[in-house]
Amino acid sequence: MKGRKKIAAGMLCCMCILGVNGCGQADSDNSQNVYVGVTYYDQSDIFLNELLDCFKKEIQDLESEEKKISVTIQGAGGSQRTQDDQVKELIDGGCNVLCVNLVDRTDPSEIIDLAREKQVPIIFFNREPVAEDMAQWEQLYYVGAKAEESGTMQGEMAAEAIKANPQVDRNKDGKIQYVVLEGEPGHQDTIIRTENAVESLKAEGIELEKLSYGLANWNRAQAENRMSQMISQYQTKIELVLANNDEMALGAMDAYEKLNYTESTLPLFFGIDGTKVGLEAVRDSRLSGTVYNDKEGQAKAMAKLVEALVTGSGMEDMDFENQKYLYLPYAKVTEEQLEID
Ligand code: BGC
Ligand code: CA
């Protein structure tokens, strides 16, 4: 039942912007109608909703007298089967380009087959298919960011904060007791962010002791839950919380807030993304730092690639790695940096 409700919500999320009659192949006269079909793994994902808002704006900016663009965006409610059906519908509806944020990043074959049959190029985004799948067809592209970069930056920021503030080592044992809140298992950003954050803390000379970790699937409520369990086990022993994204860092902070912890017994919290609420928390000095996942840059790159693929011009201006990957850089965000901007 719960699953069905989610799917229904996904359909509702489907929307057409910029004119109704965008569907069909690009016209052969001077005017062009472009129809972009987008599907993403789950309509409740905060970061992706922000990214897709940017994407809609970028696409809108591409519209002109001669070029009408319409977009349909669907959320797949966490089901790969639903997403496969959505892709089929979008292709049957005549879309010229697909933008796909896979539910299961290891399972794109059905989608690739459907698209190849009708020669509709695919731009995968945010959830990176494995290299062998990307090699299945030459009309497959990826837009995202490099997970290791975000992990390294998070670790460096944490190291800097720890060095600047000896109080973080509350029990004065020369080590930082930490826990990690992890995103979905199997997501490229989960394993790699965690590994690189820890590596870079060590490389900065910080001695660490891992107390525990919690899987929270990028989700604030799940993170609150996991964090509450860890707090009941370790009480004030936790000195640092590394979260694979801002939502989970916020969930961890919610857990402490509900237990009425005072500032002197709170750990440091670090996130990744720089979502709207994430940045607010940095500004209020509740979140010690985050790493900006450049949604504007990624949305712009996707829109530029859509345009290049439908018009057939501009591909040479794209900054591809290995002919099909567009990676946007991450950036560190601390309260001081926000004050300068
Ligand atoms: C973001 C998460 C998001 C996930 C979805 C990650 O890159 O940091 O916030 O939930 O992508 O795939
Ligand atoms: Ca300590």
Q: Are residues 161 and 213 in the same domain?
A: yes
Q: What is the reported pLDDT for 35? A: 96
Mean pLDDT of the chain: 91
Q: What is the reported pLDDT for 263? A: 86
How many domains does the chain contain in total?
A: 2
Task: Confirm or reject: Cβ of 126 under 6 Å from ligand 1.
Answer: yes
232-282 residue pLDDT tens: 999 999 999 999 999 999 999 999 999 989 888 999 999 999 999 999 999
Q: Are residues 257 and 302 in the same domain?
A: no
38-97 residue pLDDT tens: 999 999 999 999 999 999 999 999 998 888 999 999 999 999 999 999 999 999 999 999
Q: Are residues 230 and 287 in the same domain?
A: yes
Residue 104 resides in a domain: yes
Query: Residue 5 — very low, low, confident or very high, per pLDDT cuts 50/70/90?
Result: very low
Task: Give the strand order in the sheet containing 67-75.
Answer: 16-17, 67-75, 32-40, 97-100, 122-125, 140-144, 325-327
Q: Are residues 77 and 179 in the same domain?
A: no
Residue 54 resides in a domain: yes
Q: Does the pLDDT at position 120 exceed 50?
A: yes
Q: Are residues 141 and 9 in the same domain?
A: yes
Which amino acid does the sequence have at 192? I
192-207 residue pLDDT tens: 999 999 999 999 999 9
Which listed ligand is nearest to 149 at the C-alpha? 1
Q: Are residues 28 and 128 in the same domain?
A: yes
What domain range is 112 assigned to?
A: 2-145+294-329
Task: Confirm or reject: Cβ of 47 under 6 Å from ligand 1.
Answer: yes
Cα separations (Å) of 198 from 177, 220, 241? 12, 22, 11
User: Which residues share a beta bridge with 142?
Assistant: 124, 325
Residue 65 resides in a domain: yes
Residue 335 resides in a domain: no
Which listed ligand is nearest to 234 at the C-alpha? 2
Q: Does the pLDDT at position 4 exceed 90?
A: no
Q: Does the pLDDT at position 302 exceed 50?
A: yes
Percent of the chain with pLDDT over 90: 85
Q: Does the pLDDT at position 29 exceed 60?
A: no
Q: Are residues 271 and 304 in the same domain?
A: no
Query: Residue 33 — very low, low, confident or very high, per pLDDT cuts 50/70/90?
Result: confident
Q: What is the reported pLDDT for 67? A: 87
Query: Residue 23 — very low, low, confident or very high, per pLDDT cuts 50/70/90?
Result: very low
Residue 336 resides in a domain: no
Residue 341 resides in a domain: no
Is-contact 329 294, C-beta < 8 A? yes
Is-contact 136 270, C-beta < 8 A? no
Query: Residue 3 — very low, low, confident or very high, per pLDDT cuts 50/70/90?
Result: very low
* Residue closest by Cα to atom 10 of ligand 1: 218
Q: What is the reported pLDDT for 8? A: 39
| Environment class of 85 (CB within 10 Å of its CB; exposed 0-12, middle 13-18, buried 19+) | middle
Task: Confirm or reject: Cβ of 245 under 6 Å from ligand 1.
Answer: yes
Q: Are residues 289 and 299 in the same domain?
A: no
Which residues are near ligand 2, the ion (C-beta closer than 5 Å)?
169, 171, 173, 175
Task: Confirm or reject: Cβ of 290 under 6 Å from ligand 1.
Answer: no
For residues 318 and 313, give the distance between their C-alpha atoms in angstroms, rounded to a whole number: 10
Q: What is the reported pLDDT for 341? A: 73
End-to-end CA distance of the chain: 47
Considering only 59-68, 145-154, 210-219, 320-329, which range has the smallest mean pLDDT?
59-68
Please give the DSSP secondary-structure letter assigned to residue 270. Answer: E
For residues 23 and 25, give the distance between their C-alpha atoms in angstroms, rounded to a whole number: 7
Q: Are residues 162 and 251 in the same domain?
A: yes
Q: Are residues 153 and 47 in the same domain?
A: no
Residue 334 resides in a domain: no
Residue 279: give its domain's CATH number. 3.40.50.2300
Average pLDDT over residues 7-21: 38
DSSP 125-193: ESSPPPHHHHTT-TTEEEEE--HHHHHHHHHHHHHHHHHH-GGGSTT-SSSEEEEEEE--TT-HHHHHH
Q: Are residues 97 and 152 in the same domain?
A: no
Which listed ligand is nearest to 250 at the C-alpha? 1
Residue 279 resides in a domain: yes
Q: Are residues 114 and 39 in the same domain?
A: yes
